[in-house]
A and B are shown apart, each in its own frame.
Chain A
Amino acid sequence: MLSFTPTDEQQMLVDTIMKFAAAEVRPHAHDADEEDAFPPEIIQKGWELGILPASIPEAYGGFGEHSAITNVLAAEALAWGDLALALAVMMPATVANPVHFSGTEEQKQNILPQIAAAERLPYFSAALLEAGISFDPNAPRTTATRENDHYLISGEKCYVPFAPEAQMLLVYARDSETGKVDGYLIERGAEGLDILQREKLMGIRALPTYRVRLNNVRVGAACKLGGEAGTRYQRILSHSRTALAALAVGVARAAYEYARDYAKTRVQFGVPIAQKQSIAFMLAEMAIEVDAARLLTWEAAWKLDTDDNGDYTAESYHAKEYAAKAALFVTDCAVQVLGGHGYIREHPVERWLRNARGFAAFEGLAIV
């Protein structure tokens, strides 16, 4: 039945995350950005919220059912706290969810219980993006070449979170014969797998991401996500785009709320600047864009939840593109509302603007 109200259970989860985001994440976000790292105990606390285990069925060691809707609600709330922290906390899902959607029974049994039962944040990370001005997820340069019962994987990936710590990487590569893109589960320390330098990015600075080189990394055929049937790559990309859309909404909402509250207290010409139409109208547009982006995101998530078979490429693409643009628009407006103060790093809005810009480049960094 048509409704825009989350379930009570979902609302409780969102309230819990928002409380954590406000009380634990926000106070550290500024320093984390300056120091290029979040305090590990904060990431750990985020993991202990149990969002991912609640999304893994009992049969695989979790205690819930997967729901993209629940996950986008959670993602927005986490990103409202801080995007880098959200990406760190959600990192294990970039392996767990693809395994859940597309893994063989054996892969699910091997990997999901480990992640679901992990008391400490489990370092499972994914590698999709590649350096360049135009990355095409359907034509990565990284290749997988079949040789008898194994694959040789070669290429270079970028934006791989926590690569040095990762006990497993899900690397996406193009089959050098068929061109099909699949995921490959690669264990830590595989020969030919080199973790290169940490990257220096415009935003999400508190999230450590790395370049990763694969030089004929040899993996058994059973390590291909989905086995011989291959990976449901389009579906995974849709879950990823929907996740990124939700994160973008979280960033946008943070900036909108901050600018709104600032404008109501900042007095110029004898009145709060929010009482000037030029500012009030900007804030109204921001509110509309945040809501619109959220609705597109929810719709994509709802479609993914409702039908397990479709790819929903158009829906998730629309959601991600819209939310990415909305986040950039809203964070830019927020900087503008704060004027000179917005440009100063003491206020969070310039950080949110830097973070929001990233969504144009991001792909695969989160999966709901």
Chain B
Amino acid sequence: MAISFEIPERVLQEREMLKSVAENIMRPESRYLDEHEHQRPHSFIKAMWYVLRDQQAKALQKLTNGEDKPKREGPGITYVRMIVLAEQLSWGDVGQYLCMPAPLLAGSAIEAVGTKEQKLRFLKRFAEGEPKWGAMAMTEPGAGSDTSAIQTTATFDPETNEWILNGEKIFCTNGKLALEESDGIVVVWATVDRNAGRAGMKPFVVEAGTPGVKIGKVEIKHGIRASDTAAIVLDNARIPAENLLGSPEVIQREGTAGFKGAMATFDASRPMVAASAIGVGRAALEFLKEKLAEHGIQIPYGVPYHQLSAVQRDVLEMEMQLKAAWLLTLRAASMLDHGLHNSLEASMAKVKAGKVVTQVTQKAVELLGTMGYSREWLVEKWMRDGKINDIYEGTGQINLLIVARRILGYTSRELQ
């Protein structure tokens, strides 16, 4: 290997295509969807579905033929593609991006711990017919960052060979799209033993139309208003035994393979969230620079500090911070493509990007004065949208805690 920052040509071409989707389909709808919460970005969903459906079909075909492992030697480009996509579409509109009709986090969980049979069975629907969504339900009213405290239970009924789920999940991104508005799936994390902590946590695939599964409150939010964030009520919801995701290690009662599976999902999803954050930040920064240029303010490089105005310094700082966040994210994704363990790097990227998008978008609103604050422009929306990235998939603080434990070699008990 040699150090290289070269993004594969194929990915760059794809980015151009996504940029056009972002500019022509997402941006024109941005304001309307922000002001009309819970309405769906139909044009975007349609535009993406046919592309994603074909890709999914090809992927499943390969899996069926046993060609899912790359033929050529060396690293893949799966995760770099994913972060480039997340960045570019979030540059367009992060609320709409979140409505991308795809397996999404359910897919990550299935990829992380599912068997081949499960992958084929659960992902098939994303390769045919009308748009569908996948989602993941982890958070509960009493279990936010402390995922091991989940109370939703799964009880096995040997007579019917079914799992019975009971409990309430909240803050499930795309929960409503997955369960009510399409024939989608939600991966629900439930415990087979409340006293077992992490060892009891297992992932269950709940399909749309399952009796006893109801969408509760759909949240009214600060930003990402095009995306639905739903509560899911599980009231004696019965699902087939084969819907418990995973290999025998995950399925068996003892051991924390299930919990580790959840964490492995985060290794892939955190760089995605970081990339999404950077897309929003870049949108705000580019817009800001455009407006400053219209007012004759250019950003010079390599001139002494004393010759820079406060605004120029701010912009330079924003550029550097965004680049730092992007490079940390690129590294985290690239490590997955190289088959390397990336929990530390994924959390580093997430911490940095969440913080940077918050600072960059807040600064952009500030520097654009009364117009920055105005709903005529999208900057104020980007500030509200961007903030979510410092919160979901683990808050900045939880990710910082993970970084700290990893660099110090401490367990979760040693460093709380």
Interface-located stretch among A111-119, A141-149, A156-164, A288-296: A288-296
Chain B nearest CB from A138 CB (Å) reads: 7
B51 CB-CB contact with A under 8 Å:
no
Q: Which residues of A, 83-102, contact B by the 8 Å Cβ criterion?
A: none
| Across-interface contacts of A136 in B (CB, < 8 A) | 303-304, 307
A284 an interface residue at 8 Å Cβ cutoff? yes
Once A284-B404, A287-B348, A292-B324 are accepted as A-B contacts, the answer to whether A275 and B334 lie under 8 Å apart by CB is no
With an 8 A cutoff between CB atoms, is B99 at the interface? Answer: no
**CA distance in complex: A287, B401 (Å):** 12
A2-B80, A280-B415, A288-B348 as given contacts; A302 in contact with B5, CB under 8 Å: yes
Q: B302, B304, B330: which contacts A2 (Cβ < 8 A)?
A: B330
* Residue pair B352, A292 in contact (C-beta under 8 Å): yes
Q: Mark B81-99, 1 if CB is under 8 A from A, else 0.
A: 0000000000000000000
Q: How far is the CB of B118 from chain A (nearest CB, A)?
A: 30
Q: Which of B17-25, B42-50, B365-373, B406-414 contacts the other chain?
A: B406-414
B323 interface neighbour in A135, A264, A285, A296, Cβ under 8 Å: A296
Check B331–A4 contact: CB distance below 8 A: yes
| Interface range on chain A (Cβ under 8 Å from partner) | 35 or more
B7 and A2: CB pair below 8 A?
Answer: yes
Q: Which residues of A contact B294 (CB under 8 A)?
A: none
Q: Given A274-B410, A275-B410: A299 and B303 within 8 A (CB)? A: no
- Interface residue SS majority, chain A: helix
> Once the chains bind, are B304 and A4 in contact (CB under 8 Å)?
no
Interface segment, A24-32, A198-206, A310-318? A310-318
Chain B window 339-375, contacts with chain A (Cβ cutoff 8 Å), 1 for yes, 0 for no: 0000001001001100000000000000000000000
Residues in A whose Cβ lies below 8 Å from that of B305: 134, 360
Which of A2, A6, A285, A302 is B337 in contact with, Cβ under 8 Å? A2
CA distance A101 to B65 in the complex (A): 53
Whether a CB of chain B sits under 8 angstroms from the CB of A328 is no
Q: How many residues belonging to B are interface residues under a CB distance threshold of 8 Å?
A: 49
Q: Quick check: A134 and B307 within 8 Å, CB to CB? A: yes
B352, A277: Cβ atoms under 8 Å? Answer: no
With A2-B337, A134-B307 already in contact, the answer to whether A288 and B408 are too (CB < 8 A) is: no
Cα A322 to Cα B415 in complex, Å, equals 30
Minimal beta-carbon separation of B321 from chain A (angstroms): 8
For B117, what are the chain A residues with a Cβ–Cβ distance below 8 Å? Answer: none
B400 within 8 Å of A (CB atoms): yes
Asked if residues B404 and A280 are in contact (CB atoms below 8 Å), the reply is yes
Query: Assuming the A-B contacts A284-B407, A321-B320, are A4 and B334 also in contact, with contact meaning beta carbons closer than 8 angstroms in the complex?
Result: yes
Does B158 sit within 8 A of A, measured CB to CB? no
Chain B residues lying within 8 Å of A287, measured Cβ to Cβ, are: 348, 403, 407
How many angstroms from the CA of A69 to the CA of B337 in the assembled complex? 22
Q: Is the CB of A317 within 8 A of B301?
A: yes
Residue of B nearest to A302 (CB): B5
- Residue contact B5 to A138, C-beta cutoff 8 Å: no
Scan residues 315-348 of chain A and give those whose CB is less than 8 A from a CB of chain B.
Answer: 317-318, 321-322
Q: Is B310 part of the contact surface with A, judged by Cβ < 8 Å?
A: no
Binding site for A on B (CB under 8 A): 1-8, 74-75, 77, 80, 301-307, 316, 319-320, 323-325, 327-328, 330-331, 334-335, 337-338, 345, 348, 351-352, 397, 400-401, 403-405, 407-408, 410, 414-416
Q: A133-B306, A288-B348 are in contact. List 5 more A-B contacts (CB 8 A).
A: A6-B1, A134-B304, A134-B307, A287-B407, A288-B352
7 CB-based A-B contacts, threshold 8 Å? A4-B334, A10-B3, A264-B408, A283-B407, A284-B401, A288-B328, A292-B328
